[in-house]
Amino acid sequence: MPRIKVELPERFIFATEIPVRARHINGAGHVDNAQMVVLISEAREAFFVGLGYQQNDVEGVGTVITDAAFQYLAEAFEGETLVFGLAANDFNKYGGDIVCRVSDRETGREVARAKLGFVFFDYTTRKVAPIPPRFLERVNAA
């Protein structure tokens, strides 16, 4: 089976920093793969906040992750601060992708990449919803 390779966009429209804490570390002494998923989820939430939204309220609808791919490239350790660069792209009628690059703030060492497919979701009707036009405007303006 071929390895997953997450392609990065030309530019990221948002960045946030998250320190690596003891709770993120596994028995091997580095960030656990499941904790990296948690950290990327935190960065995704910060991305929506940076656009002026909560991920459960984007112009009256929420978001749901439909698929995800993670590419781990290097270890990360307690005490490091990770920089999460994010971009949104590959839009369709209902959603798109959020692409994330994770790197160490001090060295620039790339630690991981992720691609998260998402759709907008109306929690009242429990159905997928079209992309809010204002969301696209904010992403394109960023």
Q: Which fold has domain 14-141?
A: Thiol Ester Dehydrase; Chain A (3.10.129)
Q: What DSSP string describes 78-139?
A: TT-EEEEEEEEE---SSEEEEEEEEEETTT--EEEEEEEEEEEEETTTTEEEPPPHHHHHHH
pLDDT digit of tens for each residue in the chain (142 aa)?
789 999 999 999 999 999 999 999 999 999 999 999 999 999 999 999 999 998 899 999 999 999 999 999 999 999 999 999 999 999 999 999 999 999 999 999 999 999 999 999 999 999 999 999 999 999 999 8
Cβ contacts of 23-28, under 8 Å, gap ≥ 24? 24/76, 24/78, 25/77, 25/78
- The two tokens of residue 110 are 């790339």
What is the domain partition of the chain in residue ranges? 14-141
pTM, full prediction = 0.95
